[in-house]
Amino acid sequence: MITTSHPSPSLAPAVAPGSASRIRVVAGALGAAALTVAALLVTTPWGDRYDSGAEEVLDYDGLAAVRDGAWTGMLADGFAFAVLGLTLGLVTCHLVRGRGRVAALVGALLATAGGILFAMGGMSFATLTWFASGVSEDVGRPLVDYANDHTGHLLGATMAGFFLFTVGGLVLATALFRARAVPVAGVSAYVLLVVAQFAPVPGRTLDYLQIAMMALFVALAVKVLRRPAA
């Protein structure tokens, strides 16, 4: 999702210097959040991805090896995802002033709610695994088994947040397309990446797909930062 280099006057209305400064702060936060998520996807401090569809999401024997890294990484990932949802919506609402503005508002609300829910669920998940792997096995293993028996409570907020963010992102992409604020190729690439996430992909392919999505968000942030102040 990359803005055009020379938008028409109708797509790039003049803004007051103060407003330009504020949207640049928002765009900077968007870029920083996307870079943070991308870096975490590259380094995977939490180890292998957890399979939400598996019979047992958590493996007690594997928790201790990534205990501290997983807690720190999931905390950073959740916070960055929340910032991403909020700032992506704000940037889109800034770019879409005519056609698509209702979709931009709806998408912003969905993406923001999704980012916050994802952060809440991720932090809860990380805290559970940190405590469960730090106590004696006769205490920690039954706790992990109990969590695996109640995956709705274990992953519910995270999955709901991811779903809302995904739907919100698609609505925001629609708004940007309708307003012609970004090239069709950028919107198409984003939609294809979103759809590809749900395909049965091998190994770390899903990480690479999401890194590519973060690159699109960074590109959008950079273009907003480079826009003239008025």
Asked if the structure places residue 7 within a domain, the reply is no
Which residues of the chain, if any, have pLDDT below 70?
Answer: 1-18, 53, 228-230
pLDDT digits (tens, 9 = 90+) for 58-75: 888 888 888 899 999 999
Cα 110 to Cα 162, 171, 172, distances in angstroms: 10, 9, 9
The pLDDT score that the predictor gives to residue 143 is 92
The pLDDT score that the predictor gives to residue 15 is 52
The pLDDT score that the predictor gives to residue 227 is 76
The pLDDT score that the predictor gives to residue 229 is 55
The pLDDT score that the predictor gives to residue 21 is 84
The pLDDT score that the predictor gives to residue 220 is 94
Asked if the structure places residue 12 within a domain, the reply is no
pLDDT digits (tens, 9 = 90+) for 26-44: 999 999 999 999 999 999 9
As for how many domains the chain has, the answer is: 1
Containing structural domain, residue 123 = 17-47+56-225
Asked if the structure places residue 131 within a domain, the reply is yes
The pLDDT score that the predictor gives to residue 194 is 95
Asked if the structure places residue 38 within a domain, the reply is yes
The pLDDT score that the predictor gives to residue 62 is 86
Asked if the structure places residue 116 within a domain, the reply is yes
Asked if the structure places residue 122 within a domain, the reply is yes
pLDDT digits (tens, 9 = 90+) for 210-229: 999 999 999 999 989 887 65
Asked if the structure places residue 28 within a domain, the reply is yes
Asked if the structure places residue 216 within a domain, the reply is yes
